[in-house]
Amino acid sequence: MTRLRVHNLAVSLDGFATGERRTVEAPFGHAGGRLMQWFFPTRTFVTASGHESEAEGSGTVGVDDALAATTNLDIGAEIMGRGKFGPHVGPWPDEEWRGWWGDEPPFRTPVVVLTHHERPDLVLGETTFHFRDLAPADALDLARELAGGLDVRLGGGPTTVRSFLEAGLVDEMHLVLVPIVLGRGVRLWEGLEGVEEQFAIESVASPTGVVHQRFTRRR
Amino acid sequence: MTRLRVHNLAVSLDGFATGERRTVEAPFGHAGGRLMQWFFPTRTFVTASGHESEAEGSGTVGVDDALAATTNLDIGAEIMGRGKFGPHVGPWPDEEWRGWWGDEPPFRTPVVVLTHHERPDLVLGETTFHFRDLAPADALDLARELAGGLDVRLGGGPTTVRSFLEAGLVDEMHLVLVPIVLGRGVRLWEGLEGVEEQFAIESVASPTGVVHQRFTRRR
């Protein structure tokens, strides 16, 4: 059976995985770039975002990069919540919003976008977005079909990850504990008391200040 | 200037530093022993609690013990909230409750117990408890006076630590991140957005599964 995997999910000391007041200009709300600061200098990010010519050269290759580099390995499809696709709520005002990522989104696989407001499939470069109103288990069935025998990545945001954790569907999860107190935003762990019993958990502290945690489902 | 130090403060993934429904039988409420499981096998705990003859021998001396062993170094007094002294709230029904620790509490220094309901000093073995209704800064002044030139330990619980963090009075803090989701209890970080800016923070993952974080005040 292929696996459902979460990668690079950053969480503050107080358990928030995104900030408050998300907008087109601020995808993480008042958290700004603070939750992903560890990620930006990595070779994985620098390469994927085409910033190789910038001051940081080809990016760092330490602990942070080693963990980040597993993100795309053997992934055949992604599931994301509508909140990751865009900052809007409710019916689509029009279909002009085509995600944050421009004409060539970095996914390059089918992507299932969970939304109560379905719209036609959207093809952008090598990525196809499927907008569907599905429960977690059904979304996973669809993504598995689309993934062609490879794993499925659960891309977030926190509300979506929480619903798949609640349904017991997550096989692997990579969290990044960032030593900041956000104070407000979306709590990852709400309603998940005891969820750690489903997983073996390993932690490693990075010299950059964050702590990586790998959750692996107990069989 | 002497320092105000927090030690061994265990926090769940979702930011709770104690559970719900604390009683005489369950000092951490529904969290039970889970938050302090890392501590019990250490040499520091085994020695202090007089369990040396038990199966675990003289206790572990790994990363967890190294961190725990700093707890009592150069400490001349402790400040604790009433919640650490006992599970009761409101006026003392009588003065029979003399803490959880029996006739020889492990503090062996003056202890300032913060309470809105003052009562006479209580001498137990080498420890004297002073029950005072004081704001954090005034409590620290009193504890410094009693500490005879040594440091003051801020013993908890989380509500008390939070109020001293809010007042900017904590110089050093040792947190222990325990990979469990408690779901309910007392949140350490409530109201402390941005508090990390006061501190340099180092993290180390222990092979036992917890992560230690040392906060040191930026000067």
Q: If you measure CA to CA, which chain B residue comes closest to A203?
A: B205
Residue A85 corresponds to which amino acid? F
Residues of B in contact with A183 (CB under 8 A): 189, 191-194
Helix (H, G, I), strand (E, B) or coil at A63: helix
Residues of B in contact with A191 (CB under 8 A): 183
Residues of A in contact with B193 (CB under 8 A): 181-184
* H-only helix segments in chain A: 43-48, 63-68, 82-85, 136-146, 158-166
> Nearest Cβ partner of A14 from B15, B182, B184?
B15
Q: pLDDT value at position A55?
A: 53
Residue A2 has pLDDT above 80, yes or no: yes
CB distance A177–B182 less than 8 Å? no
Do residues B73 and B44 lie in contact, with contact meaning Cβ atoms separated by under 8 Å?
Answer: no
Confidence of residue A1 (pLDDT cuts 50, 70, 90): confident
Q: pLDDT value at position B89?
A: 85
SS (H, E, C) B102-169: CCCCCCCCEEEEECCCCEEEEEECCEEEEEECCCHHHHHHHHHHHCCCCEEEECCCHHHHHHHHHCCC
Q: pLDDT value at position B96?
A: 87
Q: pLDDT value at position B57?
A: 67
Q: pLDDT value at position B53?
A: 57
The C-alpha atoms of residue A6 and residue A87 are separated, in whole angstroms, by 21
A22-26, A53-57, A161-165: least confidently modelled range:
A53-57
Domain that holds residue B43: 4-78+152-217
> Mean pLDDT, consecutive 10-residue segments, chain B of 219 residues?
96 96 85 94 87 68 96 97 89 87 94 95 97 98 98 96 98 98 97 98 97 96
CB distance A181–B201 less than 8 Å? no
Q: pLDDT value at position B219?
A: 82
Interface pTM, i.e. ipTM = 0.91
Residue that wins the pLDDT comparison between A51 and A66: A66
CB distance B196–A13 less than 8 Å? yes
Q: What's the number of domains chain B is made of?
A: 1
Interface of A to B at Cβ within 8 Å reads: 11, 13-15, 177, 179-184, 187-196, 201-205, 209-211, 213
pTM over 0.90: yes
Q: pLDDT value at position B52?
A: 59
Q: pLDDT value at position A206?
A: 97
> Nearest Cβ partner of B13 from A181, A189, A209?
A189
Q: pLDDT value at position B22?
A: 83
A interface test, pick of B181, B206, B210 with most A CB neighbours within 10 Å: B181
User: Could you tell me which residues come within 8 angstroms of residue A104 by beta carbon, excluding any fewer than 6 positions away?
Assistant: A124, A125, A126, A127
Q: Please spell the DSSP secondary structure of A31-49, one letter per residue.
A: GTTGGGTTTTTBHHHHHHT
Q: What is the CATH number of the domain that holds B173?
A: 3.40.430.10
pLDDT tens-digit profile of A199-218? 999 999 999 999 999 999 99
On whether residue B8 sits in a domain, the answer given is yes
Q: pLDDT value at position A217?
A: 97
- Terminal alpha carbon distance of chain B: 13
